[in-house]
Amino acid sequence: MTGETGHKLRGDYSRMRPDYTVDQEWESYSSAEHDLWRRLYARQESLIAKHACDEFNDTLESLHFGEGIPRFDAINAKLKPATNWQLVAVPGLLPDLTFFDHLANRRFPVTVWLRDPQEFDYIVEPDIFHDFFGHVPMLFNPVFANYIQAYGRGGIKAHALGAIEMLARLYWYTVEFGLIDTPKGLRTYGAGILSSGGEIAYSLESPKPNRIGFDLLRIMRTRYKIDTFQETYFVIRDFRELFDATAPDFTPYYAQLRGHEPYAPSVVLPTDRVYHRGVSPQRAA
Ligand SMILES: [Fe+2]
């Protein structure tokens, strides 16, 4: 298996099933790995209280998985009755269609291996800490959980239409790096931000990046960076806005976007709703 940059993936893909799932083999985690998990968790926990949205914070608190690498089956026993989702253990990144098929069937793939201690602050490939800490709490939110499933279904369609690159930008700028406008100010629900030590404060407080109101077509036309903090974040008003945006058939959108050059990650357009100092354009007016 190779990643999108062509490098060899580090997971063990030798024992997977045809759908790329494996057993978590929780007993094989070492005490050093559980200790690293506790340290990663403690650092993030201290950062998220004033940066994550309430939906994330409240669920995280109720799940109690800070004491060591969690067992997927224990979380599944809570997740299934909450939103009918299930976690499945995987060796790492998956082929696009396999990934979409899991999401479309309300199965969220979680990588089984944990980063090395020297990767405490930064890791290239998503590991169990990113996948679990960043993504799992939001799967307990019914509207967001439905959005992820709709995204998976859309992915299967996009695969057939050769439009994955455009659709992937939506996942990147929402599920991974999305911000939300709340009565308490801007917060994040994006897993890439929530599992990062540095980007969490940067995404919400730095004067450098653009913060722009959610716009589906604009997002699907905007490139992103995978090796630096983001230059632009998109802000939703609520999770319903996100889910509703995925309701239409994207086929005509792809046709419309195909004739246009994608925007650079840093660009601001005259039509953008720009948030200044975290204040929404509407509230500032
Ligand atoms: Fe992720």
* Ligand 1 center from residue 16 Cα (angstroms): 20
- Our answer to whether residue 135 is catalytic in this structure is yes
At 1 the pLDDT is: 55
Residue-level pLDDT at 122: 86
Asked whether residue 126 carries a pLDDT value surpassing 80, the answer given is yes
245-250: average pLDDT: 92
222 by DSSP, 3-state: which? Answer: strand
- Spatial distance between the Cα atoms of 185 and 27, rounded to a whole number of angstroms: 42
Going from the Cα of 236 to the center of ligand 1, the distance in angstroms, rounded, reads 18
**Is-catalytic flag, 195?**
yes
Residue reference for tokens 């679990």: 132
What pLDDT does 281 receive? 75
pLDDT > 60? residue 118: yes
pLDDT per residue over 138-152, tens digit each?
Answer: 999 999 999 999 999
CB 161 within 8 Å of CB 254: yes
Give yes or no: 231 in active site.
no
Q: For residue 37, what pLDDT is reported?
A: 98
Mean pLDDT within 112-135 = 95
Cβ atoms of 204 and 143 within 8 Å: the answer is no
Contacts of 51 (CB under 8 A, 6+ apart): 187, 188, 193, 200, 201, 203, 204
Position 144 scores a pLDDT of: 98
Q: Which pLDDT band holds residue 262 (cuts at 50, 70, 90)?
A: very high
Set 51, 55, 102, 176: catalytic member: 176
Q: Which positions ≥6 away from 250 have C-beta within 8 Å?
A: 154, 157, 158, 163, 167
What pLDDT score does 284 carry?
47
pLDDT number for residue 278: 65
**pLDDT value of residue 3:** 58
Classify residue 277 by burial, with Cβ atoms within 10 Å: 0-12, 13-18, 19+: exposed
Cα 195 to averaged position of ligand 1 atoms, centre (Å): 9
pLDDT of residue 5: 55
Options 33, 55, 102, 130, the catalytic residue: 130
The answer to whether the beta carbons of residues 216 and 253 sit under 8 Å apart is: yes
Cα of 185 vs centre of ligand 1, distance in Å, is 24
Active-site pick, 135, 196, 199, 280: 135
State the average pLDDT over residues 116-129: 93
Per-residue pLDDT tens digits for 152-199:
999 999 999 999 999 999 999 999 999 999 999 999 999 999 999 999
Burial of 258 (0-12, 13-18, 19+ CB in 10 A): exposed
User: What are the tens digits of pLDDT across the range 37-92?
Assistant: 999 999 999 999 999 999 999 999 999 999 999 999 999 999 999 999 999 999 99
pLDDT at 124: 85
Is the pLDDT confidence value at 285 over 50? no
Task: Return the ∠ at Cα 196 (arms to 193 and 199), rounded to 5°.
Answer: 60
| Cβ-contact 243, 146 below 8 angstroms | yes
